[in-house]
Each structure stands twice: as C-alpha cells, then as structure tokens.
C-alpha cells in the first residue's frame, strides 16, 4: 500500500467521503434508500470531480455492499463480473456495443444488478450510439447503465432523454483544502494552509489533480513542506512577483513592471504560468474594487494585500489591465517576456494609434457611393449630346485633354506643399484664404458638399464648370456647353445647399448662381482651327469629352447619330 499513489489510495469508498458534490450524493442516497433505482444514469462534469468514483460507490450501494467489503482500492472489485467497466475511448465501435448487448442478457452472478459503467461515453461512434440506444430503450430488468462523460453535449438527445442526469461541479478551494489537509495529516505531511491553497488553486477544481500535486510536493520536499518549497516543486513563480507586476500595471509604473519581468526571465520561470497568476491577481483586485470580494476563497492577509494594491485605482483601469494581460500570447516562447512587456506598455501608454478608429466623414446618403460609377458612365452618355468630330485628328487632342478635367479632384495637389490627402475625409476643414485660386475654392466647395451628404451635387460641379465671378456676397458658376443639359439643372435644384456649403467654405453669407459659360463655349468652338492652349487656372482645358470607342463602334455599325439638343 505504501507504494500506491495518493489519489488511488485515498479514493472515496462510500458516499460520505465524496467531496464537493453534496446535491448529487444526497439524491443518490435517497434513491438507494427508497429503492428507486433507474436503469440508466448519466454522470457529467469536469475531469477529476468524482464521476467514476461515485459510479463505483453507487454500483456497490444498489447491490447492498458496504465500503468495508469493497476492493482494497475502492474499485468495486468485490462485485466481480457484475460490474463491467468499459473505456469508450478505446472501445468505441459498434462491434463493442453489440458485444455489450449480448452480455447484458446474462443474469448477474451474486449481485442483484449487473452494472455497466461506460466511461467517456461521448467517444462512441454514431453507429455505436445507435446500438446503445436500443438497449437503453428496452433494458433487461437486472441491468443498470452508468454513463460518464466530460462532454454531454456531444451525445445524441435520444440518449440524454433516457438517462437520469447528474452534473458534477468543480470542487471549491475550501472543500479541496479540507480534503488535502485530512490526507496530509494521515500521511504525516507538515504543510501550511497557504501551500494547500496554492495547490488547490493550481488544481482548478479537480480534486484528483489536487491530490496528485500534493503527492508531487511530498516527494520533492519530504515530510516538511513550506510555501516556497511548494512553489518551487510546482514550478510556480512566487506570488509576490506576480502581485508586484499587477500593482505596477494598475498604477502605471512601467519601469517597475519591466524590472519584475526581467527578474522573472533571469530565473527561467515559465511565463505561461506567471501570466496566469498575474491575471488571477488582477481579477481578484477587480472583484475587490467592485465589492465582490466575498466570492473569493482567500485568507485575511491576501485580501488585505489586494486592497493595498487597489488603493486609488479605478475599476475601469483594472478591466483594461486584465484584458491586456489575458490577451498576451506567450505560447510561442514561454520563456520570453516580450508579450507581457507589450501588454504592460499598452496599459501605461494606452492602445496604439492604429487601434483607435479614425474619424470618418459625416453620414451621407446612398447616392454618394455612386459618383465613380456615374463618372465612368457619363462620358458615354454625354457624348450623345455632342457633334461627332470632323476627323480623327480633331478627336485625338480632345482625348488627351479630357482626363485632367475628369480626375481633377482626386489628383489635385495641395497648395501648402503637404503630401496629398488620401480622401475628402482627411482634407483640412479650414476655409481657403480670400486670395485663394478659384480652383481651390471650388475644390473646398465640393468637399463641403460631401460632408453635408450631397456627394452627387459635388460630382456635378467636378470639371463641368468654373468660377467666373466672385463678390463679397455672391459666387457665379459658369457651366460649359456640354454640361448645360444635365449638370447645371441638377445643381440648381440644390442651389440652397450649394449656397450654404459656399458660405461655410468662405466664412460669410454667399449666394451661388449658375449660368452658361459663354467664354468657355467660344474657346471650345475655336479649337478646330487653333492649337489647344496649355491648361492653367485662367485657361482651363476644354471640358468636352471625346467620343468613346463604344459610341464610334455603334455609329459605324448601326448608323447612330449624335443627339442634337433643340
């Protein structure tokens, strides 16, 4: 017996020794006492919480056996062939279940019931589950099934509906410490409560893991165990360092936090474990700040330390620190502090600039998402309003002059020498000076219209007009001949909004008027006999677009003629 590991040696032999499952134990005891035995039970819950142990105790109880007559290790060995344990992880096929069904027809040897304990039942194949379902639907009267699993949601609902379900919960820290204390005293191990609490927290609710960790500490440290020795045996960093880093993060002390991380790296401590302890401390501080410290299973000195760390800290700062350290990924290299250093720096200096959402333009109507498509289609539509050029020689210069007019907005260079802005949302909102060129004023007017949600109107004054006169209270837009039929009427329909945008741009009350640009028309009619002048703000390029390839092809194939306005 002395060579047996502790978790097997101290496995419970009756319901009274089961820890942390009071509701389950009470229900099963009542069922046995009232002789209300179900033909199928489902024990589900996390690992190490007593599912298999309770199943063995139940198997003995329904057959009238006591703990004193049980097997030496509490494994139900006294039941012999009347307790059949099956590991569904390795016996998961339909043939295994068919064999089980055949064996279930035989009467028990010396016991009242023949008990089949199927562990990890969720590992069965779908066909095996169907075969088991048939037996659960019409079980022999002398058979009891106990299914144990850590993942009940993987089972078919038809199986779940035929079992009495019992959910095993994780064992609390206080209950686990009491059980570990009883085992330690029986084995002659001297260990303080702080070390037992450390073991219980590291076990994360699994009593079997907690007993195993106690066994590990006992083997390394001997019969006398201290808190530091327990930390060293479990490979844990000292709690003081983790709490010190948590305090530095909450109070914005970057240098102190980096020094702690450097010291931890110097000692070659696993940062994955260290991070878990830091996150645990930050969580405890958050619960303390929010008045929920009663839910923590901590001693008085530990609670006092948490209150000192949280002194003068807002709960929102604790949430920020907790999120930053929780998201730090130390799995790639658990001995490098860089992820935790970045988490600490992000807490002190705030999130990186790219994490903050950039201010976008004001909400705009649906039609604003269409200007580029409309600009792509407009030359083909407006070509029908123009006269076909007399010869290809006249057509080619116009094709070279049109792109600058159509793309004047996206390629407009800033007048202050700064880098071009990526879009209208990032252009400066300062009004242009009174001496600004007309092109700059027109550009600012388009930006203001887009910000107001009138992107289509802004598109209608892009390359189709120019400012021909400007006074203290008025602004006159002259539209070229090719845009009189479509663009100018649409701008006039929203002239109130255009005037308001112009007032915003120029910083005074402005009334906008739309008129035909006679000078531009005369210039465009003379381009057939005179070479085109170089584009400039005083001498803009002709806005008349060239005849598209599609229009020329249609004219040659179908005899189409340009549309002539009356």
pLDDT score recorded for residue 27: 95
- Is 117:58 a contact under the CB 8 Å cutoff? no
> Which range among 28-32, 280-284, 354-358, 429-433 has the greatest average pLDDT?
28-32
pLDDT tens-digit map of 345-361: 999 887 654 444 444 55
pLDDT score recorded for residue 354: 43
pLDDT tens-digit map of 507-525: 889 999 999 987 643 333 3
pLDDT score recorded for residue 152: 92
Confidence of residue 432 (pLDDT cuts 50, 70, 90): low
How many CB atoms lie under 10 A from the CB of residue 7?
18
> Which range among 3-12, 17-26, 308-317 has the greatest average pLDDT?
17-26
pLDDT score recorded for residue 115: 92
Domains of the chain plus CATH, in order, are: 6-167 (3.40.50.300), 173-234 (1.10.8.60), 239-354 (1.20.272.10), 368-401+428-526+536-553 (no CATH)
d(CA 166, CA 168): 6
- Average pLDDT in the chain: 78
The tokens for 454 are 């009138």
SS (H, E, C) 407-431: CCCCCCCCCCCCCCCCCHHHCCCCC
> Which range among 22-26, 445-449, 467-471, 537-541 has the greatest average pLDDT?
22-26
Query: Exposed (0-12), middle (13-18) or buried (19+): which is 490, by Cβ within 10 Å?
Result: middle
The answer to whether residue 319 scores a pLDDT higher than 50 is: yes
pLDDT tens-digit map of 476-494: 999 888 788 878 888 888 8
Least confident segment among 157-171, 290-304, 410-424: 410-424
- Measured in whole angstroms, the distance separating CA 414 from the mean position of its chain's CA atoms is 40
Q: What is the mean pLDDT of residues 536-541?
A: 50
The answer to whether residue 176 scores a pLDDT higher than 80 is: yes
The answer to whether residue 44 scores a pLDDT higher than 90 is: yes
Confidence of residue 210 (pLDDT cuts 50, 70, 90): very high
pLDDT score recorded for residue 53: 94
Strand order in the sheet with 143-149: 83-87, 114-119, 143-149, 40-44, 164-167
d(CA 94, CA 2): 41
DSSP H or E segment with residue 259 = helix 254-266
Confidence of residue 239 (pLDDT cuts 50, 70, 90): low
The answer to whether residue 342 scores a pLDDT higher than 90 is: yes
pLDDT score recorded for residue 564: 52
* DSSP for residue 190: B
d(CA 139, CA 68): 31
The tokens for 223 are 């019969």
d(CA 305, CA 285): 9
> Which range among 74-83, 350-359, 401-410 has the greatest average pLDDT?
74-83
pLDDT score recorded for residue 158: 92
Picking from 432, 498, 402, the residue whose alpha carbon sits closest to that of residue 459 is: 498
The more confidently predicted of residues 11 and 302 is 11
Q: What is the mean pLDDT of residues 212-225?
A: 92
pLDDT score recorded for residue 410: 40
The answer to whether residue 566 scores a pLDDT higher than 80 is: no
pLDDT score recorded for residue 305: 82
Picking from 276, 191, 180, 178, the residue whose alpha carbon sits closest to that of residue 228 is: 191
The answer to whether residue 528 scores a pLDDT higher than 70 is: no
pLDDT score recorded for residue 428: 42
Taking every pair of C-alpha atoms in the chain, what is the biggest distance, in angstroms? 120
The tokens for 498 are 């255009």
DSSP 271-284: HHHHHHHHHHHHHH
The more confidently predicted of residues 190 and 374 is 190
Picking from 482, 424, 433, 476, the residue whose alpha carbon sits closest to that of residue 455 is: 424
The more confidently predicted of residues 400 and 282 is 282
pLDDT tens-digit map of 50-63: 999 999 999 999 98
Least confident segment among 64-73, 145-154, 482-491, 531-540: 531-540
Confidence of residue 170 (pLDDT cuts 50, 70, 90): very high
Does the model's pTM come out above 0.85?
no
């Amino acid at each position: 017996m002395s060579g047996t590991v502790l978790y097997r040696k101290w496995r419970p032999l009756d319901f009274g020794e089961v820890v942390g499952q009071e509701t389950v134990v009470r229900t099963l005891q009542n069922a046995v006492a009232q002789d209300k035995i179900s033909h199928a039970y489902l024990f589900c819950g996390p690992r190490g919480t007593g599912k298999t142990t309770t199943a063995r105790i139940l198997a003995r109880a329904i057959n009238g056996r006591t703990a004193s007559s049980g097997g030496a290790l509490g494994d139900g060995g006294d039941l012999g062939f009347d307790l059949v344990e099956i590991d569904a992880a390795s016996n998961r096929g339909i043939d295994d279940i068919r064999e089980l069904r055949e064996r279930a027809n035989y009467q028990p040897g010396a016991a009242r019931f023949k008990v089949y304990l199927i562990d990890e039942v969720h590992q069965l194949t779908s066909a095996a589950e169907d075969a088991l379902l048939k037996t659960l639907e019409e079980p022999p009267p002398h058979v009891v099934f106990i299914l144990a699993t850590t993942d009940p949601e993987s089972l078919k609902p038809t199986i779940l509906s035929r079992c009495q379900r019992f959910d095993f919960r994780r064992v609390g820290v206080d209950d686990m410490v009491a059980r570990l204390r009883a085992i330690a005293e029986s084995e002659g191990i001297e260990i303080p409560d702080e070390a037992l609490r450390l073991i219980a927290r590291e076990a994360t609710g699994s009593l079997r893991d907690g007993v195993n960790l106690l066994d590990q500490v006992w083997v390394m440290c001997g019969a006398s165990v201290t808190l530091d020795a327990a930390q060293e045996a479990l490979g844990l960093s000292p709690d003081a360092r983790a709490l010190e880093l948590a305090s530095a993060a909450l109070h914005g002390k970057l240098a102190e936090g980096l020094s702690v991380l450097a010291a931890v790296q110097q000692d070659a401590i696993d940062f994955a474990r260290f991070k878990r302890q830091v996150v645990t401390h930050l969580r405890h501080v958050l619960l303390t700040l929010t008045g929920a410290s009663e839910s923590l299973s901590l001693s008085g000195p530990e609670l006092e330390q948490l209150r000192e760390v949280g002194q003068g800290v807002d709960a929102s700062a604790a949430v920020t620190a907790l999120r930053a350290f929780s998201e730090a990924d130390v799995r790639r290299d658990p001995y490098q502090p860089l992820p935790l250093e970045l988490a600490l720096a992000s807490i002190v200096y705030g999130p990186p600039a790219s994490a903050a959402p950039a201010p976008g333009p004001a909400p705009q109507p649906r039609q604003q998402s269409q200007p580029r498509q409309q600009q792509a289609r407009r030359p083909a539509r407006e070509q029908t309003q123009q006269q076909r050029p007399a010869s290809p020689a006249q057509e080619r210069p116009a094709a070279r002059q049109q792109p600058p007019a159509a793309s004047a907005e996206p390629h407009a260079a800033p007048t202050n020498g700064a880098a071009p802005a990526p879009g209208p949302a990032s252009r400066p909102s300062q009004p242009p000076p009174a001496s600004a060129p007309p092109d700059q004023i027109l550009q600012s007017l388009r930006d203001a219209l887009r910000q107001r949600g009138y992107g289509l109107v802004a598109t209608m004054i892009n390359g189709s007009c120019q400012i021909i006169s400007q006074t203290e209270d008025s602004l006159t837009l002259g539209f070229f001949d090719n845009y009189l039929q479509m663009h100018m009427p649409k701008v006039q329909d929203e002239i109130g909004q255009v005037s308001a945008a112009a007032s915003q741009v120029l910083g005074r009350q402005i009334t906008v008027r739309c008129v035909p640009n006679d000078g531009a028309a005369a210039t465009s009619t003379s381009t057939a006999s005179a070479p085109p002048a170089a584009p400039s703000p005083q001498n803009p390029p002709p806005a008349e677009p060239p005849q598209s390839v599609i229009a020329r092809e249609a004219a040659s194939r179908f005899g189409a003629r340009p549309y002539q306005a009356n």
